[in-house]
Amino acid sequence: MTQLYRAGKGQITDEIQKVAKNESIDAQKLAKRVAKGYVVIPTNKNRNTKPCGIGKGLTTKINANLGSSPELENVDLEIKKAQIALEYGADAIMDLSTGNNYRKVRSAIIKNTNAPLGTVPIYQAGINASKKLGAVVNMEEDDMFSAIEEQAREGVDFMTIHSGITLDTVEKVKKSERIMGVVSRGGAFLAAWVLHNQEENPLYSNYDYLLEIAREHDVTISLGDGLRPGCLADASDIPQMSELLILGDLVKRAREAGVQVMVEGPGHVPLNQVEANMQIQKTVCQGAPFYVLGPIVTDLAPGYDHITSAIGGALAASAGADFLCYVTPAEHLSIPVMQDVKEGVIASKIAAQAADVSKGHKIAWDKELEMAMARKNFDWEKQYQLAFDPDKPRKCRERKHTERNDMCTMCGEFCALRMVRDNI
């Protein structure tokens, strides 16, 4: 039985109790939101996953993408990246491996972490088809569902499924004036398959079978935005919105089948369109948790896309997004290294905190008040403890050029806090 099904029957599961405690929310209230599909708790029954609630009324969560590529395969490196992502505050991990040893990477992450783990099963199906049948477009339907079943049995907690790529939406891309076309890798696998075979996407036409697998293992479906915009000029166009309408219907069908479901959102969106995109998604998808990549709000910052995505992510989360997929400085350029992962997580944590403060979340405000008191009292150790990256402010402070503990070298003797305090 799934978290959604049990909550609908009035059961307060151990996972709901733990999330309620962590979020300082009433367990009964949380269970009702899970039952309605406004909150998901990705916990595959085959894995001892640390419960993490994503959705309405909860703190904004962060996902870190990891995984090998055909150009760089190192299982130990991926484990270290997973560990550093969790150390700096990621709530979940996605393994996007496309190298030959993708199974080893996934198995190692499952063994060495207990955060919710996500995957994109179509990658596995495409890799195998490329090896055995010569090309991704030669995938067979059984390849797609076999990958989903295998990963569900292994304990994957949530899966990106591109069921919104259809004969109709692919045709809309062909007729559109898009600059970047299809930039989602999983979306491209299926769009190319549909075009090559001139058949409907099996993940759409046999969606009910997919739901059976998900229900059996309590896998949370993350409906992928395979037609997300890949540049600002393509944002909010007909293909993107056409796919979203399909996803709204698929959300309803998943809930009716007792399967937890969330929806993935756009990648590149101008700042003035971010809020509207969030509102449209929440309306079309009946309040399902929204999982966004960024959004990236300018295309002119390669090497700094963790910053552009943090700007977009803060606005998106304040307007209704529930789950931010981090973007690293290496986005669009290379596979991320350890430092990229750290910087990507921290940037997303900043965005999430800013959004949670704007929504008046008590947990977020309590931390802000703690930091304010620490700064007032020149409690440097407390400030380091509360910081998203304790090492950086500590190193900055070590450059102080003064032995006094009640000032920093920016203002020195003219410290505003000290001048007023000492004359009251």
* Structure tokens belonging to residue 166: 């259809």
What is the rounded distance in angstroms from the CA atom of residue 328 to the CA atom of residue 343? 7
What is the rounded distance in angstroms from the CA atom of residue 108 to the CA atom of residue 142? 26
286 and 397 assigned to the same domain: no
240 and 380 assigned to the same domain: no
397 and 349 assigned to the same domain: no
What is the rounded distance in angstroms from the CA atom of residue 190 to the CA atom of residue 161? 10
265 and 320 assigned to the same domain: yes
What is the rounded distance in angstroms from the CA atom of residue 85 to the CA atom of residue 110? 15
CATH of the domain at 111: 3.20.20.540
276 and 369 assigned to the same domain: no
Segment 53-68 mean pLDDT: 97
Average pLDDT score over the chain: 95
306 and 408 assigned to the same domain: no
Give the model's pLDDT for residue 273: 98
Q: Is 36 helix (H, G, I), strand (E, B) or coil?
A: helix
* Structural domains of the chain, count: 2
pTM over 0.85, yes/no: yes
Does the pLDDT value for residue 231 go beyond 70?
yes
272 and 325 assigned to the same domain: yes
- pLDDT category at 13 given cuts 50, 70, 90 is very high
**C-beta separation of 188 from 228 below 8 A:** no
What is the rounded distance in angstroms from the CA atom of residue 244 to the CA atom of residue 264? 9
Domain span including residue 387: 363-422
Among residues 68, 60, 125, 58, which one has the least CA distance to residue 92?
60
Give the model's pLDDT for residue 70: 87
190 and 315 assigned to the same domain: yes
Does the pLDDT value for residue 8 go beyond 90?
yes
> Which of residues 332, 358, 384 is at a domain's end?
358
* Structure tokens belonging to residue 151: 């990963």
**C-beta separation of 66 from 93 below 8 A:** yes
276 and 372 assigned to the same domain: no
> Which of residues 358, 378, 397 is at a domain's end?
358
Does the pLDDT value for residue 406 go beyond 80?
no
Segment 394-419 mean pLDDT: 76
**Residue that wins the pLDDT comparison between 417 and 40:** 40
pLDDT per position as a tens digit, 181-209: 999 999 999 999 999 999 999 999 999 99
380 and 332 assigned to the same domain: no
- pLDDT category at 398 given cuts 50, 70, 90 is confident
What is the rounded distance in angstroms from the CA atom of residue 73 to the CA atom of residue 248? 37
Helix, strand, coil shares of the chain, percent, nearest 5, are 55, 10, 35
Does the pLDDT value for residue 163 go beyond 80?
yes
Give the model's pLDDT for residue 72: 86
Segment 234-263 mean pLDDT: 98
Segment 89-114 mean pLDDT: 96
pLDDT per position as a tens digit, 305-344: 999 999 999 999 999 999 999 999 999 999 999 999 999 9
What is the rounded distance in angstroms from the CA atom of residue 62 to the CA atom of residue 306? 13
CA atoms within 13 A on the CB side of 269: 26
Does the pLDDT value for residue 74 go beyond 70?
yes
Give the model's pLDDT for residue 424: 65
Contacting residues for 107 by C-beta, under 8 A, at least 6 apart: 154
- Dihedral through CA 316, CA 317, CA 318, CA 319, nearest 10? 50
117 and 227 assigned to the same domain: yes
> Which of residues 358, 391, 410 is at a domain's end?
358
| Share above pLDDT 70 across residues of the chain, in percent, rounded to a whole number | 97
Residue with tokens 């209704």: 320
345 and 406 assigned to the same domain: no
What is the rounded distance in angstroms from the CA atom of residue 216 to the CA atom of residue 327? 32
Does the pLDDT value for residue 417 go beyond 80?
no
